[in-house]
Structure 1
Amino acid sequence: MSTNPFGELDVTNRTVKRAQYEALEFALSADGVQVRNNSYANPEDHEYLVEVIEGVPTTCTCPADAKYDGACKHRIAVAIRRPILNAVRRQQLVADGGISSASKHEENTPREDGDSDDQEQAEECDCADLRSDFPCWECYRSGRKDFPDGY
């Protein structure tokens, strides 16, 4: 994924915040990503399918996605979580007859163009798109950045 999927979405600050703090659970399905909102007392009534096309969450089955102009919190939640988008991409590759996953050796081997995957991940970092001092998941997970003091 060379572009940032979050940048492809029309979003509001309120919806982005909800996508970040609500207790969302994700599961891959054959048609996309099932997003369940566990913030509700009855989460089974708040489960929706987000379709991802070319790395961008394009549609959601929730009422808000149909009713409002901007992207819903479910689409935003998928867009800001690169590990989920990577899993969707791998699943789509397998469905198209591609490979299921790369070995650790292949993931860390410099590419023919001289860039390593670590350099590419740093370039694809989502920290600049976040509206706070918190690091994106990939930077935190890889140890490149830590939470701000006091958290």
Structure 2
Amino acid sequence: MAALEADETAQKRAQTEQFSFDVDAPGLLTVTNESHDKPEAHQYVVTIDDVTEELMACTCPHHIHRNAFCKHMAAVENAIDDGTLDAFPSEDDDETEPDNCDCEGLNGFPCWPCVRTGRTELPN
């Protein structure tokens, strides 16, 4: 997937450590290593090319100082490959009506599922 190949150590660590992912924007992911006592001190941003969908970079010291494929990039690649992470979510996803929508019976007021999913905003 990426121009840099993940070395065996990075792949093993990506598979054995616990990571969480936040999609900040399409192709821009905050990766948190939840295996540490203070996960917030172990957050890095992984970027993915929006055309080729190849992993491009990570803000962790391993990638920056060694220009190496790091465990954060490997964790993102693994999560994308197994379908648990969508690094390029569609903007249309928020427009779809939730299965439990009840807006019709609320006289123009949005139901909570539509507000929670961002489909509709609460009126002022």
Q: Normalization by structure 1: what TM-score? A: 0.52
Query: Separation in 2 of the partners of 1:42 and 1:72?
Result: 20
Match of 2:89 in 1: 90
Q: Deviations over 1:16-71 (max 9, x none)?
A: 10011101111111261110001111111000111111322211111111011321
**SS of 1:48's equivalent?**
strand
Residue equivalent to 1:47: 43
- Paired with 1:74 and 1:10, the residues of 2 have a C-alpha distance of 13
For CA contacts below 8 A with separation 6 or more, give which structure has more relative contact order.
Answer: 2
Structure 1 unaligned regions, length at least 5: 104-151
Work out which of the two has the higher radius of gyration on C-alpha atoms and give 1 or 2.
Answer: 2
Verify the 8 A CA contact 2:13 2:71 in the aligned structure 1: yes
- Structure 1 vs Structure 2 CA RMSD: 2.2
Partner of 2:29: 33
Deviation at 1:80, TM superposition (A): 1.4
In structure 2, list runs of 5 or more residues that go unmatched: 97-124
Seq. identity, %? 29
CA contact (8 A) 1:35 1:48 kept: yes
| Number of residue pairs matched by the alignment | 90
Hey, which of these two has a bigger chunk of helix by percent? 1
Q: Which residue identity is paired with 2:42?
A: H
Q: Which residue, out of 75, 78, 81, partners 1:77?
A: 75
Distance 1:67 1:45 in 2: 18
CA contact (8 A) 2:62 2:68 kept: no
SS at match of 1:80: helix
